[in-house]
Amino acid sequence: MTEQIVHSLLLALHNIALVGCAAAPFYNRALVVKRGQYGPKLHYELDKVVEDTLQGNAPYCMAFMATLILTGIALPMNYWAFHGAFRDMHVVAHVALGLKLAAVAGMAAIMWVIFFRINPRLRSLFAGFASGATPDGGQGKEFFGLRARRKSLCETCLKFAVVVLVCSAFLGFSV
């Protein structure tokens, strides 16, 4: 009974983290697509809201990813703690686990690039912009180029999140 309670709590946290990992790129993409309707011209107030929103989500994404990884490790360890061995899994579950781990690693790599390379540069560039002023050509071009790169990475991250969600459904296959 204790094993099932611990398992259920870990699985609930894992599923919440899974949903958070999928929702973040989904809603970020929706915001970026809406903003894209205005073209690659600076609209200071709108762009400030977009940047504040996207960059403000970073801590949540990191928390969801950390929870996903920690509970992903804790779930099989819970079984091991009560049975002294890891659960036997069907080949389908092994393949799903491998794909899920690869997708999580891909998401983590994308988050690293966005949060520690692209976002700081966007923040630095945006700090040099002012309401009502047009940024010089080089800065504006770099700003919108980085945004396009971030959008592309977020779309890839969303695909990885869908892979994680789908693969999770196949982890229950047993021998």
Among 55-59, 90-94, 148-152, where is mean pLDDT lowest?
Answer: 55-59
Examine residue 7 and state whether it is found in any structural domain, yes or no: yes
Examine residue 44 and state whether it is found in any structural domain, yes or no: yes
Alpha-carbon torsion, ordered 156, 161, 165, 167, to 10 deg:
60
Q: How far is CA 40 from CA 45, 52, 115, in A?
A: 14, 18, 22
Tell me the C-alpha distance between 58 and 64, whole Å. 10
Examine residue 72 and state whether it is found in any structural domain, yes or no: yes
Count the neighbouring beta carbons within 10 Å of the beta carbon of residue 119. Answer: 17
User: Looking at the 3D structure of the chain, how many domains does it have?
Assistant: 1
Examine residue 174 and state whether it is found in any structural domain, yes or no: no
Q: Which long-range contacts (CB under 8 A, 24 or more apart) does 145-150 make?
A: 146/118, 146/121, 146/122, 147/32, 147/122, 149/118, 150/32, 150/54, 150/114, 150/118, 150/119, 150/122
Is pLDDT of 125 > 90?
yes
Q: Which long-range contacts (CB under 8 A, 24 or more apart) does 146-149 make?
A: 146/118, 146/121, 146/122, 147/32, 147/122, 149/118
pLDDT of residue 109: 96
Q: Which are the contacts of 9, defined by CB distance < 8 A and separation ≥ 6?
A: none
Examine residue 175 and state whether it is found in any structural domain, yes or no: no
pLDDT of residue 1: 84
What's the average model confidence in pLDDT over 55-84? 92
Examine residue 57 and state whether it is found in any structural domain, yes or no: yes
Phi, psi of 91 (to 5 degrees): -60, -35
Tell me the C-alpha distance between 166 and 6, whole Å. 23
Examine residue 105 and state whether it is found in any structural domain, yes or no: yes
Which residues form the domain of 49? 2-169
Examine residue 71 and state whether it is found in any structural domain, yes or no: yes
Query: How sure is the predictor about 134, in pLDDT bands with cuts at 50, 70 and 90?
Result: confident
Query: How sure is the predictor about 51, in pLDDT bands with cuts at 50, 70 and 90?
Result: very high
Alpha-carbon torsion, ordered 104, 108, 111, 113, to 10 deg:
-130
